[in-house]
Amino acid sequence: MRGRAALAVAAAALAFAPAGCDRMPGAKAAEKTALRPDQITDFRALYAANCQACHGANGQNGPAIDLANPEYQALVDDATLRNTVAKGMPGTEMPAFAQSAGGMLTDEQVDAIVAGMRKEWRKANAFGGATPPAYAQDGTGNEQHGHELYEQRCSICHQQPARQQVTSPVYLSLVSDQALRTIVIAGRPDIGQPDWRLKPAPGNREPPVVLAYLTKAGPPTPLAAQDVTDIITYLHTLRNPDAISAAPAPRTPRR
């Protein structure tokens, strides 16, 4: 009887051992707290995994537009920003990220990225009381006037070897008219690109010849809304219509 009693006690102990170990401090903590990729909603984690490679750490100094630029955040409304993240931007390197458009992110994750950008990088009165040209590029531009304006107002910067050669068909095959317009209006302070007012960008990163041009006649005259439209219209004519963008082709949404 004593032998049977001992075996019963041992069996009972073994039966409760897994539950007891599972309750020990730290046991299986990683398994309990780990999130599936589609459950992550932390902005910094989502940005690092999906946006940083193109837009740079903290939204700056990447090959794509400066998301941390307060003027960009003020220029683009919530619906447009969300639509760009979710569905991408045709004619550019910007792919679609929403699962509904063939990407990997849930609607909640797309919302978290947009909300995080707004919280981190949007500032009140980003334009200092000035009214910028409208965000959207329309089809009313004048190519000849745009060419003249480009030579007068833009070429001195963009003919510099260290600056982007924006008239290059290779470059233009990778950006859309809307992306060009956005940069002309909001600028890219992270690389010294002024906004539509053509003021020297913060930090004076322009070459001396550019600074001399921007300051020789006092405060530069801002580009009018129609001027921006005309410049983009001119650049559009330089784009090779047969060029294939490197942007990923749209994928069929997963069901």
Whose structure tokens read 């004593």? 2
CATH superfamily of 39-121: Cytochrome c-like domain (1.10.760.10)
Confidence of residue 179 (pLDDT cuts 50, 70, 90): very high
- Taking only the tens place, the pLDDT of each residue in 230-245 is 999 999 999 987 654 4
- Taking only the tens place, the pLDDT of each residue in 38-47 is 999 999 999 9
**Predicted pLDDT at 68:** 97
Tokens in use for 71? 């003027």
Using the CB atoms, write b or e for 156-170: b if 16+ within 10 Å.
Answer: bbeeeeebeebbeee
Contact 85, 98 (CB under 8 A): yes
Query: Per-domain residue ranges for the chain?
Result: 39-121, 143-237
What span, in angstroms and rounded, lies between the C-alpha atoms of 188 and 200? 11
DSSP-based helix, strand, coil % in the chain, nearest 5: 50, 0, 45
List residues bridging with 216 in a β-sheet: 218
Residue scoring higher pLDDT (120 or 215): 120
**Predicted pLDDT at 199:** 74
- Taking only the tens place, the pLDDT of each residue in 105-152 is 999 999 999 999 999 999 999 999 999 999 999 888 999 999 999 998
